[in-house]
Copies of this chain bind each other. A is one copy, B any other.
């Protein structure tokens, strides 16, 4: 298959952010122990909204790092994202976004006995590629800016 254009990749990434429910979240401790877990997310148009137990290994790692790397799959249709993270106690997230998150992901962290926290991820780098012939031109966002359509679509 020939490589997709930058426009097509950007459209595909935006659609995946809207439609996908799960992502792979990678994190590491300060000692360099890497960790990986699948988490559901909701895309509000600007940020990915995740939720995890407040004391989970992922939450502790991301609190330390202040940034996250995550991927939407499958492995032959990758969207790779790096972004900064903001922790939002579950009582403090606005109802509209909390409800949208619950509807999209199918679980509501506000209803769970264990203490959960929302994690908002603001992407600053996004790459999209399928096969090796798409590794060139894989960046669709750098330094927080979409390379295509930044003005009209956000």
Contact = CB atoms under 8 A, between A and B. Distances in A.
Q: Give the most central of A23, A30, A61, A75: most B CB within 10 Å.
A: A75
Number of identical protomers: 2
Interface string A66-89: 001111011110101000000000
A136 to B, nearest CB: 15
A33 interface: yes
Contacts of A74: 22, 73-74
A31 interface: yes
Contacts of A71: 24, 36, 38
Nearest to A22: B75
A60 to B, nearest CB: 12
A75 B71 CA distance: 11
Interface in A39-92: 61, 64-65, 68-71, 73-76, 78, 80
A61 to B, nearest CB: 7
Instruction: State the 8 A-B residue pairs at the shortest beta-carbon distance, nearest first.
Output: A28-B28, A22-B75, A38-B75, A28-B34, A26-B36, A26-B34, A30-B32, A28-B32
